[in-house]
Chain A
Amino acid sequence: MRRIRLSVGFGIGAALWLWAAQMGGTAAAEIAGAEIGNDVQFGNETKSGKEAKAGDEQLLSVMPGQPQALDFTLPDLDGKPHRLRDYRGQVVVLNFWATWCPPCRHEIPSMQRAFEKLKADKVMILAVHVGGSVDKVWDFFADYEVTFPVLIDKHSKIAKAWPMQGLPTTFVIDPSGRIVYRAIGGRDWDAPQILKSLQALAQTRRRQ
């Protein structure tokens, strides 16, 4: 028991959360209600269930009403201000996340891969960290290098003003500044289906 207390007592929230989530495969599971027969997990987690098919969780939902994106200006990790409106004319993938949020941490590397693959299409990715723990953000990116701007929403005012309730939530904004897609929960952003959607949106811009 002492070992357990030491084990769980000081882990970062994300590690513990993940650990707790992964306990499903090892702990005796009490199934109440309709059982999920296999280890079907959410989002990007390992899937071994019959219902999970490759690439089937990479949907981007069409944003209801496709409203104009609310403009904001936020500093990046170096303090340089970024205004959303300045990216008008490009497709923007706007991701709200936090270091302590496991699905957020999981999808960030895939965003970097997508960013690199979509360079020719000039798709911009902006990752907005909700909360002001800049040191923890720097620590995170010591392990996962990204080259797209990471912005800090210190007081979470922007996150609360946008049409979202949980982390991660990601919006895809078209070149005219309208929110066209939304994804609640993590995605693999370099999955072919998502890359194709973003490229199609960028090509629409070129044709206009």
Chain B
Amino acid sequence: MMVRDLASLAARRGSLMLLSLLLNGAFLQVCTAQAQQVSGVGPISRYQGHGLRLEIQALAGDQIRAFMLGRGFSSADADWVVANGCIFRSQIGNQAQSAAAPTVHIALNDWEVHPVKPSQDKAKPKPLWTREKWQAIWARRPVPEGAKIAFHWGLFPTRQSHAPADYNWGFLSFGLPAKSRFDLTIRWQVAGQTFTHHLKGLVCGE
């Protein structure tokens, strides 16, 4: 039985005990899996320079399902996000540790997703799926309010200014089908100057 089926079963029966046991067991399993250097998540891409510090990594479908089911989404919603959302985890912040360093301004609307077609031709750049896009998506689906709130705050903010030592963790959503390959152009501003960097060969989880 798939783990998400177990989750649904536990939720339907209102068995908090069963759910709790599953969660705790899974946590231990996760730790075990970590020690075994499991595959199933993408490689880590890191960048550090011009004030910015960034680390992103594709999440596996089951990781996304786990987060979503735990927050009250349905299995169908979770599957839809896995199939269409292309979710990465991220840690992004100000590289500087000195209070005198400038603030780093990030606007995800300035970033570009460049899907790579099988023919190696590059498609037209696409925007990220930001909080605003997801808000519109959830508005069309019967999603519990608590789940929407968690998803909203789980996504990396669309716009944020990071003072020295500030950082955020959050999901980035590139709005591509599972297993898609793409390049990513990131942009940020420091002291009025815009910087650009390209991350190549990213792959959505499945």
With A21-B89, A59-B97 in contact, is A6–B29 under 8 Å at CB?
yes
Do B163 and A33 touch (CB < 8 A)? no
Do A100 and B162 touch (CB < 8 A)? no
Instruction: Please tell me if B30 contacts chain A, counting CB pairs below 8 Å.
Output: yes
Do B168 and A7 touch (CB < 8 A)? no
Shortest beta-carbon distance, B159 to chain A, in Å?
A: 7
User: In the complex, A119→B63 CA distance in Å?
Assistant: 41
Option from B4, B46, B72, B197 in Cβ contact (under 8 Å) with A9: B4
Residues on A with C-beta less than 8 A from B37 are 26-27
Q: Which of A21, A22, A33, A35 gathers most chain B CB within 10 Å?
A: A33
Residues on A with C-beta less than 8 A from B4 are 9
A: number of interface residues (CB 8 Å): 64
Option from A23, A101, A166 in Cβ contact (under 8 Å) with B44: A23
Do B167 and A11 touch (CB < 8 A)? no
Residues on A with C-beta less than 8 A from B197 are 33
Contact with A along B39-57 (1 / 0, CB 8 A): 1110111111100010101
User: In the complex, A3→B163 CA distance in Å?
Assistant: 42
With A11-B30, A13-B71, A30-B201 in contact, is A185–B166 under 8 Å at CB?
yes
Option from B27, B72, B97, B168 in Cβ contact (under 8 Å) with A184: B168
Which residues 52-66 of A sit at the B interface, judged by CB distance below 8 A?
53, 56-59, 61
User: In the complex, A32→B44 CA distance in Å?
Assistant: 9
With A32-B201, A42-B93, A56-B97 in contact, is A8–B157 under 8 Å at CB?
no
Instruction: Please tell me if B134 contacts chain A, counting CB pairs below 8 Å.
Output: no
User: In the complex, A124→B155 CA distance in Å?
Assistant: 30
Instruction: Please tell me if A146 contacts chain B, counting CB pairs below 8 Å.
Output: no
Determine the residue in chain A with the shortest Cβ distance to B186: A33
Which residues 13-65 of B sit at the A interface, judged by CB distance below 8 A?
16, 20, 22-23, 25-27, 29-34, 37-41, 43-49, 53, 55, 57, 59-60, 62-63, 65
Instruction: Please tell me if A91 contacts chain B, counting CB pairs below 8 Å.
Output: no
Residues on B with C-beta less than 8 A from A93 are none
Shortest beta-carbon distance, B52 to chain A, in Å?
A: 10
Residues on A with C-beta less than 8 A from B29 are 3, 6-8, 11
Determine the residue in chain B with the shortest Cβ distance to A41: B91
Do A7 and B200 touch (CB < 8 A)? no
Instruction: Please tell me if B137 contacts chain A, counting CB pairs below 8 Å.
Output: no
With contacts A1-B40, A20-B59 known, what are 15 further pairs, Cβ within 8 A? A3-B38, A8-B60, A8-B62, A10-B3, A10-B22, A11-B30, A15-B26, A19-B31, A21-B55, A22-B34, A24-B44, A58-B165, A156-B149, A165-B160, A183-B166
**14 A–B contacts from the bound complex (CB under 8 Å):** A5-B62, A11-B30, A20-B59, A21-B89, A27-B43, A29-B46, A30-B45, A42-B93, A56-B97, A61-B164, A61-B166, A165-B168, A184-B160, A184-B163
Interface residues of A (CB under 8 A from B): 1, 3-13, 15-17, 19-24, 26-36, 40-43, 51, 53, 56-59, 61, 98, 100-103, 130-133, 135, 139, 155-156, 159, 165-167, 182-185
Interface residues of B (CB under 8 A from A): 2-4, 6-7, 16, 20, 22-23, 25-27, 29-34, 37-41, 43-49, 53, 55, 57, 59-60, 62-63, 65-67, 69-72, 89, 91, 93, 97, 99, 145-146, 149-150, 152-154, 156-160, 162-170, 197-201
Please give me the 8 A-B residue pairs with the lowest Cβ-Cβ distance, nearest first. A9-B3, A165-B157, A61-B163, A13-B67, A30-B43, A10-B26, A33-B47, A7-B33
